Amino acid sequence: MRILLIEDDREAARYVAKGLGESGFVIDHAEDGPQGLMMATSEPYDVLVVDRMLPGVDGLSVIEALRKNGTDTPILILSAMGSVEDRVHGLRAGGDDYLVKPFAFSELLARIEALTRRARTDGVQETSLRVADLEMNLLSRAVHRGGQPVDLKPREFRILEFLMRHAGQVVTRTMLLESVWDYHFDPQTNVVDVHISRLRQKVDVGFGRPLLHTVRGAGYRLAENETP
Amino acid sequence: MRRRSLIFRYTLLHGTLFVLVLSGALAFLYSSTLSAHETEMDEQIEHEAEDLHERLTEVHSVTEMAAIVSRTTTERPGRTTVYMLATKTRQYVAGNLRQWPAGIEQRGDLLEFPLEGKATEEARARGRTYRLPTGEQLLVARNLTERVRFRELIREAFAGALLLTVLLGVTGAYLLSRRVSHHLDEINQNSEAILQGNLDLRMPETGRGDEFDELSHNLNRMLDRIGTLMSAMREVTDDIAHDMRSPISRLRSRIELALLGKSDPDAYRAALEGTIEDADAILAMFNSLLTIAHAESGEPRKSFEPVDLRDLVANAVEIYEPAAEDAGLSIVLEESAPVRLSGNPSLLGQAITNLLDNAMKYVPAGGSIRCRVVVGDDRARIIIADDGPGVPDAFFDKAFDRFSRLEASRTSPGSGLGLSLVRAIAHLHEGEVVLSSGDPGLIVTLDLPVHREA
């Protein structure tokens, strides 16, 4: 997996590159907009991580130029500007995800993994999802584990769907809040944890091997094995 | 000093113009009065001369004529009229003029000549001469002394009036400009002193209610407002500095303790994880402060969109419900009407979750949190009522200050920014958030205006 990081802050770039490198990614680093634009158009990358504030050409312009150019590589925007309006601007310019600085590295990693997965499954219209013996029918909205029906509330269904679409990957609380509830802020109470434990009650309890794992300090992972 | 010269120049210009106009008016009045007076005098002389001439033509002997002239002369003693009846060769016959005057000239309708050969105007006379049918000559004229006296009188009166006006004007202008300068000086001196750092100083207010008083009053109000804003700002920065110190010192002591303990990788890892939690809490506080500032700036108004309040509350209740249940609390959305208004859904959602967070924090197990959306009178109210211990009335206003927390909750997690953010979001939507006592418990009302187009 190759990632291009376009970031002018060297300290931040070092932090991101080191972490991603340790997680098995190959990182290229561009220090400004024009250089990033050139590298992104001349080399194949799996994900682009673009800082919004760049000297020369700003991040959003780089993204717009790439999209006009026909580049459809998934793009994650990093920005210190975190209001909903800023986020909307970023996504409208052609970004696929938006992460506000400062962020936890686990959050960045989870989002990059989600983006690589999205690239692979894009365009495929799925009618059912499957993780080990857990099945979800997206049309009838029925869920079965080991052949037995699992009765879920609508919101639980959406949480499970999101987890199954990102099976094997870490899903953070923030990602769940954003995609399931459209909340772009963290409530103080650990509301997500409680929802997950409810879901776990229904999906895992009584079925021998658990599928819904908690990843300490990061989030959750739905997978057959506890460690990838 | 430019200002002084401005007032002086202005007064001088006005004064000069005034004196010029007044002089013009007086000059016109002077000349028209004089000419009216002269015309009247001429008419009198003419009338008198005609009258005498007619009487003389009615008699035929010189003796009779002389008698008439003498009588007329004596009948009007003290008058300034001169009479002379003379022979064909201008020899004296009767009257109060002995010598036929030389140098008679025509002036207007009448003749003018010097009396007793003197050249001054006072010694001149104005009148008529007649040649009688019998050959004698008659002269009737009026001494011009009266005219000269009258002219002098008017001249003196007008000069006096002009002088008085100029004097009054100059004095008034001087007093006015001194007063204006005095007030401006005071204001300037006080401004200078305030600039020098005497921030409590204010402009003098006399209470007379004039323009300067109004100016001082407005300047003082402005200074008061700036002062209030400045002290509020200072309070916020003080609070931030003060309240950020404790989580940062907690983080510091955690690191220090880890270093003091035995060098065990697991202990270090635990300490580092704790440090990240501390840092996250600090970042969360900064995020809240930034969101408050963002909401207070009014910036998000630009991207307001239609929002259904009931959906927002239902969403929040739904997300909190399992957590509340775990804490032994019931959280319900009571019957509510759907209501759309123009707003920022993310910030409104955050306001609602902040209120629910608070309720979860303060209501003990077994309690309930009831949410409701009420619509009416172009307003929508989100009402969140609990049956917890409530909040002392005295705290109702203070609760919205940044970092303000109940003494009892000092030890539980939380930044004291939740309600400040709710208030900032309410104000952003031109609404208000109010605390009231539920007896028992607390009622929080988020009161928002519903604009028709939304």
Q: B321-340, pLDDT tens digit by residue? A: 999 999 999 999 998 888 99
Instruction: Judge whether residue B1 has pLDDT over 50.
Output: no
Which residues in B293-308 are b (16+ Cβ under 10 Å) and which e? ebbeeeebeeebeebb
Backbone angles phi, psi at B172, to 5 degrees: -60, -45
**A177: nearest CA in chain B?**
B319
**Residue B128 pLDDT class (50, 70, 90 cuts):** confident
| DSSP string computed for A118-136 | HHHHTT---SEEEETTEEE
Residue B146's nearest CA partner among B249, B28, B281, B42 is: B42
Q: Do A102 and B283 touch (CB under 8 A)?
A: yes
**A187: nearest CA in chain B?**
B353
Q: Does domain A2-121 have CATH number 3.30.428.10?
A: no
Is residue B383 included in any domain, yes or no? yes
> Looking at the structure, do residues B48 and B135 belong to the same domain, yes or no?
yes
pLDDT per residue over B150-192, tens digit each?
A: 889 988 998 898 899 888 888 887 888 888 888 888 889 999 9
Residue B382's nearest CA partner among B319, B448, B329 is: B448
Q: Do A195 and B322 touch (CB under 8 A)?
A: yes
Q: Do B303 and A88 touch (CB under 8 A)?
A: yes
Is residue B241 included in any domain, yes or no? yes
Enumerate the residues of chain A whose CB falls inside 8 A of the CB of residue B326.
Answer: 194
Q: Do A82 and B290 touch (CB under 8 A)?
A: yes
Is residue B161 included in any domain, yes or no? no
Average pLDDT for chain B: 85
Contact A222, A215 (CB under 8 A): no
Distance of CA A38 to the CA centre of its chain: 26
**A102: nearest CA in chain B?**
B283
Class of domain A128-222: mainly alpha
> Looking at the structure, do residues B87 and B111 belong to the same domain, yes or no?
yes
Rounded average pLDDT over B365-387? 92
Report pLDDT for B61: 84
Is residue B331 included in any domain, yes or no? yes
Tokens of A97: 């995800």
Is residue B62 included in any domain, yes or no? yes
**A153: nearest CA in chain B?**
B318
Is residue B381 included in any domain, yes or no? yes
Can you tell me whether residue A1 is helix, strand or coil?
A: coil
- For B332, the enclosing helix (H) or strand (E) is strand B330-333
- For B299, the enclosing helix (H) or strand (E) is none
Please count the structural domains in chain B.
3
Q: Do B284 and A186 touch (CB under 8 A)?
A: yes
- Interface with A, mutate which of B325, B346, B352 (most A CBs under 10 A): B346
Rounded to a whole number of angstroms, the distance from the CA of B259 to the nearest CA of chain A is 22
Rounded to a whole number of angstroms, the distance from the CA of B321 to the nearest CA of chain A is 8
Rounded to a whole number of angstroms, the distance from the CA of B225 to the nearest CA of chain A is 30
> Looking at the structure, do residues B289 and B322 belong to the same domain, yes or no?
no
Can you tell me whether residue B450 is helix, strand or coil?
A: coil
pLDDT per residue over B383-409, tens digit each?
A: 999 998 888 887 777 777 777 666 555
DSSP state of A178: I
> Looking at the structure, do residues B268 and B360 belong to the same domain, yes or no?
no
Out of B284, B315, B360, name the one closest to residue A189 (CB). B360
> Looking at the structure, do residues B310 and B254 belong to the same domain, yes or no?
no
Q: Do B322 and A188 touch (CB under 8 A)?
A: no
Sequence ranges of the domains in chain A: 2-121, 128-222
- Interface with A, mutate which of B289, B319, B348, B356 (most A CBs under 10 A): B319
Distance of CA B275 to the CA centre of its chain: 59
> Looking at the structure, do residues B314 and B282 belong to the same domain, yes or no?
no
Is residue B205 included in any domain, yes or no? no
Q: Do B323 and A83 touch (CB under 8 A)?
A: no
Out of A96-100, A121-125, B224-228, give the one with best mean pLDDT. Answer: A96-100
Rounded to a whole number of angstroms, the distance from the CA of A42 to the nearest CA of chain B is 37
- Its domain, for residue B102, covers 2-150
User: What share of chain A in percent tops pLDDT 70?
Assistant: 97
Report pLDDT for A47: 95
Report pLDDT for B412: 53
**Could you give the residue ranges of the DSSP H alpha helices within chain A?**
10-22, 33-42, 59-68, 84-93, 105-121, 154-165, 173-176, 191-203
Is residue B172 included in any domain, yes or no? no
CA distance linking residue B31 with residue B45, whole number of Å: 21
Q: Virtual CA dihedral for A137, A143, A149, A155, nearest 10 degrees?
A: -140
Contact B45, B126 (CB under 8 A): yes
B57: domain CATH number is 3.30.450
Q: Do B300 and A82 touch (CB under 8 A)?
A: no
The interaxial angle of helices B62-75 and B2-58, nearest 10 deg, is: 150
Instruction: Judge whether residue B286 has pLDDT over 60.
Output: yes
Boundary residue ending a domain (B113, B130, B150): B150
Out of A183, A185, A190, name the one closest to residue B323 (CB). A190
> Looking at the structure, do residues B215 and B279 belong to the same domain, yes or no?
yes
> Looking at the structure, do residues B358 and B411 belong to the same domain, yes or no?
yes
State the number of CA atoms in the 13 A half-sphere of A157 facing the CB: 16
pLDDT per residue over B11-47, tens digit each?
A: 778 888 888 898 899 899 989 988 898 888 888 888 8
Rounded to a whole number of angstroms, the distance from the CA of B236 to the nearest CA of chain A is 22
> Looking at the structure, do residues B108 and B33 belong to the same domain, yes or no?
yes
Instruction: Judge whether residue B95 has pLDDT over 60.
Output: yes
Q: Do A84 and B322 touch (CB under 8 A)?
A: no
